[in-house]
Amino acid sequence: MFKTLLILCGSLLLGEAALIKIPLIKCVEEKNSSHELLKLQIKFNITDLATIPPEFHYLDFSFYGKIQIGTPPQDFLVLFDTGSSLLWVPLKPDKENNETYPHRRQYVPEISQTYKPNGKPFFMFYESGGVSGHLVEDTVLLAGKEIKSVTFGATEKQADLTFRHSPYDGVMGMSFFSPEFHYAQPVYYSLMEQHKLEENVFSFYYLRNRNTRLGGELTLGGIDPDHFEGQLHYVNITRKHYWQFEMGSLYVNNWKASGKRQIIADTGCGGIGLPRDDYQRVNRAIGATIDPETFQYVVDCNKIDQLPKVTFKIGDGEFTLNGRDYIKHLKKRCVSGFINIGSSKFWILVLEVCWLYTKGGAVGAAATKS
């Protein structure tokens, strides 16, 4: 399987710098097609929503990692999300709060020697509701590397449909930080400020091989050459809010999408989100047709290996997906991984990839190993 790698690069930092490697845990989750679409639309403030298909449940991979908070350390399983900035985990409820999540780890500030109150409220909206609580400050540990005085959210309420049955406890945001838009800076900003990294780089390697339970790796401070092959290609960040950059063109066999596209790299969502017109054009180009029952673009499951290649032009590199890379198996249907996000002015790109990022202003790409 041919895959891709994205990388953002910055300046060298000195001090007690070292690579921080966090194993990713691969979970098979039941997902809801309507919720996944709403997640993208609400997360990126797309007001003109696409037509929401009927609820359709399917199994797909998700990737999480372990972090620790407090002194002594309290363990949490989090989603590393480049589409948001804040770290948040559930707060252990008091006796008067009946909203409990017994299968999820909960932060107990009273037992941490490094806990400091903040008290400012926060609220984040997701597709089926929101999470809310207040900000606190404590030590965070990533693969044993200590980051002091991190401000993060302790949630008192979480959206039932989104988080009550989720396998992870919270979210660690890894986007750019803007004081006017965000409650607190991402954890990796503190890593850089406290000189914990060799370089201003963090990377994701996703391993979707069904024959192993390993999910890949998040590496902070550099690039693991064992996770990719080929040449790195660089493009500039066009907006330092999300990890947003320009795609030069897209090819599907002899068909080419006219004009350049803005792309947002988001590790918190699955699929490839396209504005309505591009969604229709690309799906027609791969030979998909509308399923009248689910309103989704589908293909013949027996012909996946015959589907056309889809090639992205990013910087001076070209990166190609085969049919098995962009088709999802939903029960007895084979559904296109190109999804409709309505009136958006950008694409949302989540390939089965190794990603690399930094606080700097460039993004790069290369082929990875399967």
Q: Which residues of 155-186 are buried (b: 16+ CB within 10 A; e: fewer)?
A: bbbbbeebbeebebbbbbbbbbbeeeebbbbb
Q: What are 275-298's pLDDT values in tens digits? A: 889 999 999 999 999 988 777 899
Q: What is the pTM of this model?
A: 0.83
Domain assignment present for residue 351? The answer is yes
Task: State the pLDDT at residue 5.
Answer: 41
Name the average pLDDT for the chain.
79
Task: State the pLDDT at residue 210.
Answer: 64
Domain assignment present for residue 111? The answer is yes
Whether 3 shows a pLDDT value over 60: the answer reads: no
- CATH label of the domain that carries residue 133: 2.40.70.10
Q: Are residues 250 and 102 in the same domain?
A: no
Q: Are residues 356 and 301 in the same domain?
A: yes
Domain assignment present for residue 51? The answer is no
Host domain of residue 34: 20-44+57-204
Q: Are residues 304 and 270 in the same domain?
A: yes
- Number of domains into which the chain is organized: 2
Q: Are residues 199 and 233 in the same domain?
A: no
Q: Are residues 310 and 243 in the same domain?
A: yes
Mark which of 204, 239, 260 sits at the end of a domain.
204
Q: What are 133-158's pLDDT values in tens digits? A: 999 999 999 999 999 999 999 988 76
Domain assignment present for residue 171? The answer is yes
The answer to whether residues 96 and 134 touch, using CB atoms and an 8 Å cutoff, is no
Domain assignment present for residue 191? The answer is yes
- Tokens 């809310």 belong to 132
Task: Judge if the upstream peptide bond of residue 167 is cis by omega within 30 degrees of 0.
Answer: no
Domain assignment present for residue 209? The answer is no
* Catalytic one of 81, 169, 278, 325: 81
Whether 18 shows a pLDDT value over 80: the answer reads: no
Domain assignment present for residue 222? The answer is no
Q: Are residues 197 and 291 in the same domain?
A: no
Q: Are residues 178 and 243 in the same domain?
A: no
* Catalytic one of 169, 266, 278, 325: 266
Task: State the pLDDT at residue 214.
Answer: 77
Is residue 81 among the annotated active site residues?
yes
The answer to whether residues 269 and 367 touch, using CB atoms and an 8 Å cutoff, is no
Q: Are residues 70 and 190 in the same domain?
A: yes
Separation of CA 39 from chain center: 12
Q: Are residues 140 and 266 in the same domain?
A: no
